Amino acid sequence: MSALGFTIEIFQNEYLPAGAGEVNAIVTVTSAGSTAPGPPATPGAAEIIIVDCSGSMSDPRTKMIQARQATAAAIDAIRDGVAFAVVAGTHEARQAYPDNGLMIADAATRKTAKRAVERLYPHGGTAIGQWLRLARELFETGEETLRHAILLTDGQNLHESTEELAAAIKLCEGYFSCDCRGVGTDWLVDELRTISTALLGTVDIVPDPAGLTADFEAMMTASMAKEVADVVLRVWTPQHATIRFVKQVAPAIEDLTARRTPAAPQAGDYPTGAWGTESRDYHACVDVEPGAVGQEMLAARVSLILNTTSGPQTLGQGLVRAIWTEEEVLSTRINRHVAHYAGQAELAQAIQDGLDARKAGDDDAAAAKLGRAVALAHESGNQGTANLLASVVDVIDPSTGTVRLKARIVNADEMALDTRSSKTVRVKK
Amino acid sequence: MGSPSGTCPECRTPVDGGDNFCEACGWELAVAAVSAGAAPLAACPQCRPSLISADGYCERCGRKAPAGRDHIELGLRGIAGVTDRGLRRHRNEDAMALALTHTPTGRAAVAVVCDGVSTSGHPDQASLAAANRAVHVLTAKLRAGTAGEEASTSAALAADSAVRSLAGQSANPPATTYVSGIVAPIAVTVCWIGDSRAYWLPASSPASARLLTRDDSLAEELAAAGVPAEADAIASPGGHVVTRWLGADAGTPRPHTTRFEPPGPGVLLLCSDGLWNSRPGAGDLAQLAWPRAPGDLPGAAAGLLAFALGAGGHDNITVVLIAVPPGHTGAGTSHRSTPR
């Protein structure tokens, strides 16, 4: 763990006009990863693949076949020494491999696991909460700290109540991370997003089962690159300050505001999950009591904390400052990092508002919101989101956001826009 | 603050803790107050007893604790000085040094104010080195009976050497302005290079207060060449550019000196341009200093600082007031650094 290099950078305009109290800053956290040569040392990584085996997975027949192949590919991507298991999900949860607990991956166990996956067949209903509970129980049998699951489903959570699912999510929150994938178009974006958000994972649509193998392989490879589990952002704020929000803003928007747990006097922890060699941006917005002109105040101290068995370890720290000035040249200066991510957040919100309006049958409002989104995506160079938008609206002028809703919108395109709308681009160099 | 015991900082001869000066070289060992920086505060002045974090902020209210040279007040009997970062600059590049000494004819009070040239390298070090060096040379010379003007010139040249020695191989050597004041039993002597100033503020009437120095600035040089005072070249910010300073890139220093015999009691004011930037007249400054001076010199200095901050605080501000005749006050020695 000692070979890990984390850096924190703060981007902000620290100058505020007299009487102002809102302080905004972008916090860039970069992990250089392990500096030790060879493959990353992952002391205690565990992986569970949860495969939907409900009856609907047989329609079309190729869906279950593709799901098996994808699971096999994911198993192949598990490194030697990693503990793993496969869960078959229906209206109940069943352990498909191994017979109980977790198995340590090697050539032989991977082969046996793939053979077990070959025997998965679709039958019964869908109770995702049950699947998550079993995954947690299996993780608990091991000592591993880097716990990650992949969840695949094709349908809605019909065989348990919303409350049961919520309780199961709550049980798993902070214990393992989970990437969710919906195959086809019969599943609910909001349902899977609730799980992936709470469990600090990603959510995405795989419209064609043929795409599953590549996707599973990529997810598992990304997970294998994680080296540190349970890293939190600790945010200290001055007395009488209020935190408006703390959000991850890159690579995708995740609002962490409500995820705060008290850590120390005037400080709270926000979960960030596991880290490999990567860089993420966070946006913190704090209201402080305005100070006198010329006064400098620390508006927030942002620390990156790794919780280890021997206690918390500070990996890095950044200061968000406020300095009151009468000089307008200083206080009106726009920080381009803050402005950029304010734009990306507005873009994601405009898409959600547009999709909501369309569901409510208000096509005019939908076109207006999605048009605004097109303009924002165009302006910020978010080509990925621009492409997704173009599958839902006909773009007449991207710079002004003049669009027309497509006469026929493919369901999968709308779901793809929905799941991927939180993806952001970083500030141009 | 002198050398409590050990060796003379100038010639390394052993000295006794009770000595006022070095028996070997005459170096002043007595009380000299230099704005070298205050120790960081242990507790927040706004919400005591909360602690100050290692990064210098109050752990409760988040306010930055005043530290270093941001704001320093110094006082000796009959002298008070304050130096402040102001409201715009991120650090204080001004420095001041005050001292009391004895001449063969009686008590003398001396002070030096230096304003680091912000476009040079390490201007904060330049001003401090100059002020620190000069005040020790002034007291040593005066104690030995050297006349005010000669002591002043020696001190300015010594200050110049101190600043030059900071330059190293730098392409942008440290530089500073300089003004010194000696208030001796009979006469006041002022010496300067650059645009730090000295004013005479008589107790009798603010109207007869006057500026004692003439800036080494573009504006002054133009005025001396006959350009009218209201011309753009003089009134514009460009006119403010200093034309002479102390430092390795300044050529041979030629300090100006002036001497006068005060007709009655009053105060000698030394200041950096942070005070006079907003163009107050000498009479305005006298009115700000009185009636608190000379009984409450620290209060008078604080009043002048408040005036400069109120005018925008665009630059670092340093104000030193020396009572005339020397020691003409009831205030004792103090040294403090407090928040504004």
- What letter represents residue A332's amino acid? T
Query: In this complex, is the C-beta atom of B181 within 8 Å of any C-beta atom belonging to chain A?
Result: no
Q: Which of A30-39, A227-236, A325-334, B320-329 has the highest mean predicted lDDT (pLDDT)? A: A227-236
Q: pLDDT tens digits, residue range A156-168?
A: 999 999 999 999 9
Identify the pLDDT of residue A75.
96
Burial class (CB in 10 A: 0-12, 13-18, 19+), A244: middle
Element housing B220 (H / E) = helix B218-224
A3-12, A91-100, A299-308, B78-87, range with the lowest pLDDT:
A3-12
DSSP string, A142-168: S--SEEEEEEEESS---SS-HHHHHHH
CA atoms within 13 A on the CB side of A40: 23
**B303–chain A nearest CA distance, Å:** 18
**How far apart are alpha carbons A233 and A202 in whole angstroms?**
19
Q: pLDDT tens digits, residue range A52-87?
A: 999 999 988 889 999 999 999 999 999 999 999 999
pLDDT at A388 over 80: yes
In terms of CATH architecture, what is A337-420? Answer: Up-down Bundle (1.20)
Identify the pLDDT of residue B3.
40
- pLDDT tens-place values along chain B, 340 residues long: 344 457 776 677 887 756 666 777 666 666 678 888 766 666 776 776 668 888 888 999 998 877 778 888 898 889 999 999 887 787 899 999 999 888 888 889 999 999 999 888 889 999 999 999 999 999 989 988 999 999 999 999 999 999 999 988 778 899 999 999 999 988 999 999 999 999 999 988 888 999 999 999 888 888 888 877 666 666 666 777 888 999 988 888 899 999 999 999 999 999 999 999 888 899 999 999 987 877 899 999 999 999 998 888 889 999 999 999 887 654 434 444 444 4
Closest residue of chain A to B88, computed from CA coordinates: A294
Contacts of B86 in chain A (CB under 8 A): 294
- Please answer whether residues A422 and A348 qualify as being in contact, where contact means their C-beta atoms are separated by less than 8 angstroms: yes
Contacts of B245 (CB under 8 A, 6+ apart): B117, B175, B176, B177, B178, B193, B194, B216
Nearest neighbour of A238 by CB, restricted to B61, B309, B313: B61
Pairing of strands B14-15, B6-7: antiparallel
Structure tokens at B166: 């900071």
**B68–chain A nearest CA distance, Å:** 15
Cβ pair B63:A295 closer than 8 A: yes
Q: From 3.40.50.300, 3.40.1110.10, 3.60.15.10, 3.60.40.10, which CATH number describes the B67-337 domain?
A: 3.60.40.10
Select from B112, B200, B93 the least CA-distant residue to B155.
B112
pLDDT at A36 over 60: no
Query: In this complex, is the C-beta atom of B12 within 8 Å of any C-beta atom belonging to chain A?
Result: no
Q: pLDDT tens digits, residue range A112-146?
A: 999 999 999 999 999 999 999 999 999 999 999 89
Give alpha helix (H) positions in B57-98.
Answer: none
Cα angle B296, B300, B262; round to 5: 85
Q: Can you give the residue ranges of every domain in chain B?
A: 67-337
Mean pLDDT of chain A: 93
ipTM: 0.79
- Window B:35-64, CB contacts with A under 8 Å: 47, 53, 55, 57-64
**How far apart are alpha carbons B220 and B230 in whole angstroms?**
12
pLDDT at A44 over 90: no
**How far apart are alpha carbons A330 and A309 in whole angstroms?**
46
Identify the pLDDT of residue B231.
67
**A68–chain B nearest CA distance, Å:** 55
Nearest neighbour of A298 by CB, restricted to B62, B309, B313: B62
Fill in the DSSP letter of residue A259: G
Lookup result for tokens 């990996």? A315
The domain made up of A4-38+227-333 has a fold known as: Immunoglobulin-like (2.60.40)
Contacts of A293 in chain B (CB under 8 A): 87
Q: Can you give the residue ranges of every domain in chain A?
A: 4-38+227-333, 45-224, 337-420
Nearest neighbour of B62 by CB, restricted to A288, A294, A326: A288
The domain made up of A45-224 has a fold known as: Rossmann fold (3.40.50)
Closest residue of chain A to B84, computed from CA coordinates: A294
